[in-house]
Structure formats: structure tokens, C-alpha cells
């Protein structure tokens, strides 16, 4: 255990540079917290643990952000991003953050998500997503930010299914999608809100490998990460930036505009009504 | 039958907004006109009918443009674009429009084509191309503007074969091509003027499905369109725009320049001579 | 034999236009020089011949540049780029040019490479790379600049493996890579410095055809080139530029900046130390 971070209400992280002033060492009693960090030989495992579905609430987003900062502070060179919740990688953004929110919290929520994407998509660390369960919407986004994607076969699906919930993926979700599966597949899948089986995801390049069970997938994720770690860190990072810097720059230069667009869109009557119906349907299921 | 439109000489359509002032209801006696519109449950079928090869003359381009406007005016949510001429989807631009033209008509011709592309590629309606015959050049362009492409197997081919006729596809044809099949395939096929069999087109992503006969293809086109129509129209459209808006904006901002480039190019002695030889060879065949 | 050029110290070639003032006809005694030009019916064969590995020294780069200029001056319409050294297409940039260089020569080296890329990637001639051996780094770049790539099967590999040598591919290498194999494959391969077997290269689109032996590959390269040469030269070139002009313009507008970036990077202690170790390891092998 390197450390475990569950800060809340702190989205002022300097981007792409990690310099949190207070390091928090948590004891094993905190293992039930939102993100579990485990130290391995030369890398870390970042396991999301917010039962039941690793929904990305403000607190969860910030916990992930702080975890990445903590790893970089500890000179960690790479990590495997996975889930500690059975059957689910991450269900994506917590819809309840968007339903009847205060404007202040809604803004902090979205700004924290921007920060997390900028950190993860532009990370100096090497990263492999070990997708051991469903990965819709924001869950798919987290996986796409990694340098490689290994998925466990089974009933899980992955994709940007925003339109199925009546919402539109922001432009930086789209950029990440296009950089992963290309223009045409993105155009179709974005419109239809497609969720792909592991084999379908493999075929269009949304994941790089599909393994039959979690053990095999974990072994491949480790060997994959080690392949990245064999490359000198700085030249590997600079090579990654050759591809990703345009998209990162685009959000960095348009954060405020994107934030306002999101807040205005999310608080429209139509979206609020849709989210209300969706949340009611979820409540009935439970 | 919703209506059938065969306006001529009106290329002043407001882009992406449909507001024609006079709605024309045509009776069944007009079924032999250039474009046949058929109302289905929740969508329309737009069937090109300009024998023998659905060549895109000024009148045909404007008829297609008006048809789309008419559909949008009638709150139509989606359509299947296909051909009512056996064995041909569309042979593309009518070469005769470019051979020894008056400057006025040549300009109107090209401007109408720009308008049609802007309408079709940026349409708020969902669309599926049911490619039931040859689709070279402009025929391929029309198909690529749709959200999905279903092709009937057989001897038909599809592609941007402009270089084989001694001309160069304009930049917005190229943008549409790259957005459909990617950079490398476009680079090769644009240079060679490649025409692809249905299976080859499927392999490079130029079409999405190949079916053995028109009946099977029609059924798949319908189910495909219905899948698009199940998504809320506005978020589906905005998601499509995430991908297409850059290309649309590029032509909108460069219409005049593109028009002048085309007129200057088409009226050079070399091109006129080439077109003359080509038209003579066609005349001999008939 | 058309001619054979082995100029040194002349990187002031006008870009994309060929107008060298003195044409040099070399006799057959010069056949052992750096680049062999052989005239075929309607095209030329450009065979690199700098044993043992066709490393791209300043002289070799300039010889290639002059060869292309010479071909264009002779109204040559197309060429096959290949190697006259067994088992190797080209090992890429000559590392010794970067190790403890004078600033003057280092600048001339890099500027010559920029010139060669601009000539080759933007060539009016049609071109096919006949990859008859290893093609790492700069060797892969030369192949990617051609209009088509035919590779001989066997133990040879191809790819941009710069990170394995502790260096970062410049942005125009990256642009060429992305235009050939797409964003995602480039992102992964650039970071890992991947070298691909012929079959792997075929699968990701880094080469277009793989043939079992040099004779079969040569025959296919010839028929491939002839297919390009059947298209009118000007419209074929303009179609190619539709795809490549953005990348070409990007380097043309940033040559000086790219030159300074390279010189500053190559002369850092870290890079010099790494290159020294690498050259020592090569010396021990021999």
C-alpha cells in the first residue's frame, strides 16, 4: 500500500504537474475508501472501489485525481487502472450530480472531471486499463485515456452511450474517441450511443486485447505495462504528447467555455426532466 | 406519397434550415419525375429517378435539395436514399453540365451541388443510403453523406474515380472521403480513382453492410434507419455535428473560393478537350 | 542508366521544384556510389547503395535529394525506391552524424533531411517503395513517403523505433506515420518504438502488400507503379496534395523552429551520452 487518497472539494490541482502540499498516509482501515492504491514492483494498481458501480461522483473524481497526483509525487512510473467492484469497471458520471444540483457543486463537478481527464490523458506515467466489467460513458472515457486497454471477456460492454441517456458527449470525449477508434466508427457509435461487447470492441480498436478471465487479463495487463516501462520515461511521454497534445490544448484553452456549455445544457428543463425519469426508473429497479 | 419536387433554377436555399415558401403537392402522374418521395411509417424513401443513370444535372441536384427541404418541412425524422433506376445508384455529376457551358449555368450548377452537400452531410434527419447499383464519383459522395451505407452485392462499384476522368475531387469530397475511410485509403483511392466492388468497399469501410439482393438490403436499410431513429433526434444530430461540423464549416467559409476554383478549372482548354473526348466515346457506345 | 548523383554539402535545393544548374552525367565507373539510378520503360529505379546498411549520412541524404531532382529534370514520371544492399532497406539516420558533431554540420544534416522529406512526400512523381530488407526509423520514413509500399517477407522489420534509441521522432515523422496507419496505431507504436514483421505491418496498413521473395515483390512493385502512372500526372499529383499538403505546409512554415529543436535536443548531455553508449555497443558487435 502506497497511500490512499479521498480528498473532497479540491479541484484546483495544477494540471499535468503534481504538487500537493500534504501527503496523507492512510492505514488499512481506510481500504474501504473510494480508490485503492497498491504498490507493485515498479508500478501501482489503482482500483476504483465505490460500490456498487464506481459511479463518478465529485468525490470519486477528486479521489482519482488525488491518487494520480500521489503516484506522481512518489515517482511512480506507471499504473494499471481497474475496478475493485465485481462486474463493473465504472458506470460513468454519477447522474445524481446533474439532477437538481446547486450551480456551485455542478460547476465543481464538471471542472473536476476536466482536471481528471487532463491528468489522465496527458499523464507522464504509462498506464493500462484492466477493464474487468461494464465501462459505459465516463467509464469508457477513463479506459480510453490509458495507453493500452485489456478487457475481460463476458457480458460486459464498453462505449460512449450518452445519446441513449438523452445527452451529448462533450467535444473532448469525442476527441478521445476519434483518437482511439477513428472518425467513422466514432461518428456512428456517438450517434447511436453504441455499447460494444469485448469482441466488438476489439474489432474496432476500442480495446487492444480481450482475455477469457480476470487472471489472464491481469497477467497481460502487467506484461503490457512493463513493455511501456522499458522505454525511457521522458521520450515515451514526449512521443505520446505528439499525438495527444492537440486535444489536451483544445480543452485547456476552452475549459471555461466548456464548463458553461455543460452547466447551461444540464440545467435545461428537458435534460432535468429526462434525468428525473431515468433516476425514477433506477429507483424502481432497486 | 408525401410530395414530389422538381424545382429548377433555385439554389438560394437557406443552408441547414428549411423554409421553402410554397409546398407543392404532386399527384401520382408526376411519379416519373426526378425524385420520388414515398412516405413510410416514421420515415421516407427518397428514390432518384432520372433514367438512365441518375446523372446529377442542375435540375436533378435541385430536385434532391428541394426534396430534403420538403421532408424537413414535413417534420420527417429520417430517410432512405436510393435509386429507382435499375442497376445504378447514381453515375455522379452530369458531365454535360461541364462541357461548353455558359458561365452562369456552370456557376449555378456548382453552387447547387455545394448546397446539396451542405444539406445532406449536415442533415438533422437520420439517413441510410441503400446503394442498389453503381455509385461512382458524385454517386459515391451522396452515399457517404448518409449516416449508414447498405450495398447490394453484384457487379456494381463505388468510389471517387475523378482522376480517371482527368479531374480532381474538390476538398470537401476529400473531407467526406477521409471521414469515411480514413487518410491512407483516401490517399490511395483518390490518386488511382479506384472503384471498389461491394466486398472491397466493405473491407475498407466505404459501406457498412453488403447484402446479397435488393430485398435483403432494403430490410437491413430499414432496420438500420430505425436504430438511428430510436435515439432522441436533437442529441443524435448534435453528436453527428461533433464529427462533421469542421468539414461543413470549411466549405461554408470557402464557398466562393471553391466555386471560382471549379469554374476556372472546368473551363480550361485541357479539361474541355478531355470532356469532349469522353462525351464522344459515350455517344459512340450508345 | 540515366545519371548518378553524389553531391555533398548542398542543401539549398528549391523545394518541390527541380532546377539544378549543372547536370552531371556519371559513367558506369561510378556505379558503386551512394545511389544507383536505373532507367526503365517509363520510370526509374532508385537503389540506395551505401554498404553495409544504407545509413542516412549527410552525403547519403543529399545524394537521394539530388537523385530525385535529377529524375524530375529528366521528366521522369515515377520511380521505385529500393536498396542495393542485401537484407537492408535503410537503417535510418546515421547516428554518427549526431554524436559529437560540429553545429554547422549538424544543422546541415537536419536541414538536408527536411529537404529530402519535403521532396519525397510532396513529389510530383509517382513512387513505390520496394522494401527488400530492414526499414527502421528513417528507413521507415522513406518508405512511408512513397505512394505505395511492397515488402519482401522474411526476417526484416519496419517501424519508427526512435524511443528505443532514447530519442523522439519529430512532428513530421509523426504526421507521416498518422497519415499512413492512423492515430491509435501511431500513438502506441511511437511510444513503444515498435518494429513490425511484414505480416504485422500489413495488418496495420504500414505496408500495402507482402510478397514471399524479391522477384515477386519486384514484379508487384512494377505493376503497382504502372497503375499510378496510368492516371494523368497532374490530377494524380493534385489529388495526393489534397491529403499531404497540410503536413507539408506545417514543416515548411516551421523549418527553422524544428531545426533548432533538433539541434538543442541532440546536443544535450543525456542524448550525447546515450548515443555514445549505443555507438560503443555497435563497435563491439563488429
CB pairs < 8 Å spanning A and C: 56
Average pLDDT over residues A64-70: 96
Q: Do B180 and A184 touch (CB under 8 A)?
A: yes
Q: Do B174 and C242 touch (CB under 8 A)?
A: yes
Q: Does the pLDDT at position C106 exceed 50?
A: yes
Distance from CA of B183 to the nearest CA of A (A): 10
- Our CA angle for B226, A193, C181, nearest 5°, is 110
Question: How far from each other are the two terminal CA atoms of chain B, in whole angstroms?
Answer: 34
Q: How far apart are CA C183 and CA C122, in angstroms?
A: 21
Q: How far apart are CA B282 and CA B37, in angstroms?
A: 31
Question: How far from each other are the two terminal CA atoms of chain C, in whole angstroms?
Answer: 35
**Residue A271's pLDDT band (boundaries 50, 70, 90)?**
confident
Q: How far is CA A5 from CA A23, A76, A89, in A?
A: 9, 15, 19
Judging contacts by C-beta atoms under 8 Å, the chain C residues touching residue A236 are 163, 191
**Residue B251's pLDDT band (boundaries 50, 70, 90)?**
very high
Judging contacts by C-beta atoms under 8 Å, the chain B residues touching residue C178 are 183
What does pTM read for this prediction? 0.90
For residue B49, give every residue at least 6 positions away whose Cβ sits within 8 Å of its Cβ, in sequence order, or none. Answer: B31, B32, B33, B34, B35, B36, B83, B84, B85
Q: Does the pLDDT at position C272 exceed 80?
A: yes
Q: How far is CA C245 from CA A258, B171, C169, C177, C179, in A?
A: 31, 11, 20, 15, 11
**Residue C5's pLDDT band (boundaries 50, 70, 90)?**
very low
**Residue A286's pLDDT band (boundaries 50, 70, 90)?**
low
Nine cell digits for residue A188: 456512428
ipTM summary value: 0.88
Average pLDDT over residues C155-168: 94
Residues A47 and A36 sit within 8 Å (Cβ to Cβ): yes
- Structure confidence at residue C110 (pLDDT): 98
Please check whether residue C147 touches B, CB under 8 A.
yes
**Residue B45's pLDDT band (boundaries 50, 70, 90)?**
very high
Give residue-wise pLDDT tens across range C202-260.
Answer: 999 999 999 999 999 999 999 999 999 999 999 999 999 999 999 999 999 999 999 99
- Residues of B acting as catalytic residues: 93, 138, 161-162
Judging contacts by C-beta atoms under 8 Å, the chain C residues touching residue B163 are 231-232, 235-236, 239
Q: How far apart are CA A38 and CA C258, in angstroms?
A: 42
Q: Does the pLDDT at position B9 exceed 50?
A: no
CB pairs < 8 Å spanning A and B: 56
Judging contacts by C-beta atoms under 8 Å, the chain B residues touching residue A171 are 242
A75 backbone φψ class: left, alpha, beta (φ>0; ψ -120 to 50) = left
Question: How does DSSP assign A79-121, residue by residue?
Answer: EEEEESSTEES--EE-GGGTSS--HHHHHHHHHHHHHHHHHHH
**Most B CBs within 10 Å, among A184, A262, A274, to test the B interface:** A184
Nine cell digits for residue B130: 441503400
Please check whether residue B272 touches A, CB under 8 A.
no
Q: How far apart are CA A84 and CA A51, in angstroms?
A: 9
Judging contacts by C-beta atoms under 8 Å, the chain B residues touching residue A278 are none
Give residue-wise pLDDT tens across range C126-137.
Answer: 999 999 999 999
Distance from CA of B244 to the nearest CA of A (A): 8
Nine cell digits for residue B210: 453488403
For residue A223, give every residue at least 6 positions away whose Cβ sits within 8 Å of its Cβ, in sequence order, or none. Answer: none
Please check whether residue B169 touches C, CB under 8 A.
yes
Distance from CA of A151 to the nearest CA of C (A): 17
Q: Does the pLDDT at position C286 exceed 70?
A: no
Whose grid coordinates read 475498407?
B204
Q: List, as own/partner pairs, every contact residues C238-242 make where C-beta atoms lie below 8 angstroms and the sequence separation is at least 24, other chains included.
A: C238/B168, C239/B162, C239/B163, C239/B168, C239/B169, C239/B190, C239/B191, C240/B187, C240/B190, C240/B191, C240/C147, C241/C122, C242/B168, C242/B169, C242/B171, C242/B174, C242/B190
Please check whether residue B242 touches A, CB under 8 A.
yes
**Residue B156's pLDDT band (boundaries 50, 70, 90)?**
very high
**Residue B19's pLDDT band (boundaries 50, 70, 90)?**
very low
Q: Choose the catalytic residue: C34, C56, C93, C211.
A: C93
Q: Does the pLDDT at position A25 exceed 60?
A: no
Q: Do C244 and B164 touch (CB under 8 A)?
A: no
Q: How far apart are CA A276 and CA A258, in angstroms?
A: 24
Neighbouring chains to B with at least 3 Cβ pairs closer than 8 Å:
A, C
- Structure confidence at residue C3 (pLDDT): 32
Please check whether residue B164 touches C, CB under 8 A.
yes
Strand A35-39, strand A44-48: pairing: antiparallel
Supply the DSSP symbol for B206. Answer: S
Per DSSP, what are the bridge partners of residue A56? Answer: A93
Nearest residue in chain B measured CA to CA from C181: B184
For C71, phi then psi, to 5°, come to -60, -45
Which C-chain residues 171-200 have CB contacts (< 8 A) with chain A?
A: 171, 174, 178, 182-184, 186-188, 190-193
In what helix (H) or strand (E) does residue B228 lie, and over which residues does it extend? Answer: helix B214-229
Q: Do A163 and B232 touch (CB under 8 A)?
A: yes
Q: Please name the member of A166, A184, A191 whose beta carbon is closest to the beta carbon of B240.
A: A191
Please check whether residue A116 touches B, CB under 8 A.
no
Nine cell digits for residue B87: 442497376
Cα dihedral B191, B194, B200, B205, rounded to 10, equals 50
Strand B158-159, strand B133-136: pairing: parallel
Distance from CA of C45 to the nearest CA of A (A): 34
For residue A99, give every residue at least 6 positions away whose Cβ sits within 8 Å of its Cβ, in sequence order, or none. Answer: A272, A275, A276, A279
Minimal CA–CA distance to B198: which of B138, B141, B147, B130?
B130
CB atoms within 10 A of CB B200: 16
Average pLDDT over residues B25-36: 55
Neighbouring chains to A with at least 3 Cβ pairs closer than 8 Å:
B, C
Nine cell digits for residue C27: 559513367
Which A-chain residues 63-102 have CB contacts (< 8 A) with chain C?
A: none
Q: Do B243 and A190 touch (CB under 8 A)?
A: yes
Give residue-wise pLDDT tens across range B219-228.
Answer: 999 999 999 9
Give residue-wise pLDDT tens across range C62-91.
Answer: 999 999 999 999 999 999 999 999 999 999
Distance from CA of A91 to the nearest CA of B (A): 20
Q: How far is CA A210 from CA A126, A197, A213, B17, in A?
A: 20, 10, 9, 45
User: Which is higher by pLDDT, A35 or C3?
Assistant: A35
- Residues of A acting as catalytic residues: 93, 138, 161-162
Q: Where are the alpha helices (DSSP H) in B16-102?
A: 58-73
Please check whether residue A130 touches C, CB under 8 A.
no
Q: Do B182 and A183 touch (CB under 8 A)?
A: yes
Nearest residue in chain B measured CA to CA from A190: B239
Burial status of residue C209 (CB atoms within 10 A of its CB: 0-12, 13-18, 19 or more): middle
CB atoms within 10 A of CB B250: 13
Amino acid at each position: 500500500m502506497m497511500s490512499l487518497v479521498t480528498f473532497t472539494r479540491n479541484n484546483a490541482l495544477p494540471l499535468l504537474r503534481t504538487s500537493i502540499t500534504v501527503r496523507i498516509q492512510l492505514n488499512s482501515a481506510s481500504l474501504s475508501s473510494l480508490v485503492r492504491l497498491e504498490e507493485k514492483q515498479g508500478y501501482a494498481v489503482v482500483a476504483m472501489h465505490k460500490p456498487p458501480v464506481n459511479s463518478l461522483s465529485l468525490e470519486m473524481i477528486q479521489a482519482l485525481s488525488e491518487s494520480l497526483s500521489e503516484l506522481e509525487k512518489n515517482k511512480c512510473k506507471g499504473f494499471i487502472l481497474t475496478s475493485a467492484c465485481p462486474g463493473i469497471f465504472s458506470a460513468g458520471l454519477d447522474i445524481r450530480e446533474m439532477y437538481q444540483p446547486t450551480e456551485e457543486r455542478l460547476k465543481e463537478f464538471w471542472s473536476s472531471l476536466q482536471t481528471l481527464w487532463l491528468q489522465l490523458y496527458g499523464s507522464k506515467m504509462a498506464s493500462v486499463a484492466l477493464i474487468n466489467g461494464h465501462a459505459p460513458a465516463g467509464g469508457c472515457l477513463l479506459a480510453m485515456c490509458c495507453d493500452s486497454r485489456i478487457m475481460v471477456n463476458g457480458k460486459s460492454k464498453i462505449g460512449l452511450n450518452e445519446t441513449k441517456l438523452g445527452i451529448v458527449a462533450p467535444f473532448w470525449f469525442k476527441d478521445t474517441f476519434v483518437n482511439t477508434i477513428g472518425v467513422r466508427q466514432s461518428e456512428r457509435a456517438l450517434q447511436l450511443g453504441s455499447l460494444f461487447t469485448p469482441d466488438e470492441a476489439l474489432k474496432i480498436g476500442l480495446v487492444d486485447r480481450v482475455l477469457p478471465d480476470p487472471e489472464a487479463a491481469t497477467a497481460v495487463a502487467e506484461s503490457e505495462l512493463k513493455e511501456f516501462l522499458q522505454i525511457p520515461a521522458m521520450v515515451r511521454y514526449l512521443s505520446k504528447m505528439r499525438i495527444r497534445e492537440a486535444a489536451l490544448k483544445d480543452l485547456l484553452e476552452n475549459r471555461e467555455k466548456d464548463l458553461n456549455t455543460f452547466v447551461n445544457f444540464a440545467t435545461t428543463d428537458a435534460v432535468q426532466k429526462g434525468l428525473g425519469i431515468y433516476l425514477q426508473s433506477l429507483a424502481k429497479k432497486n
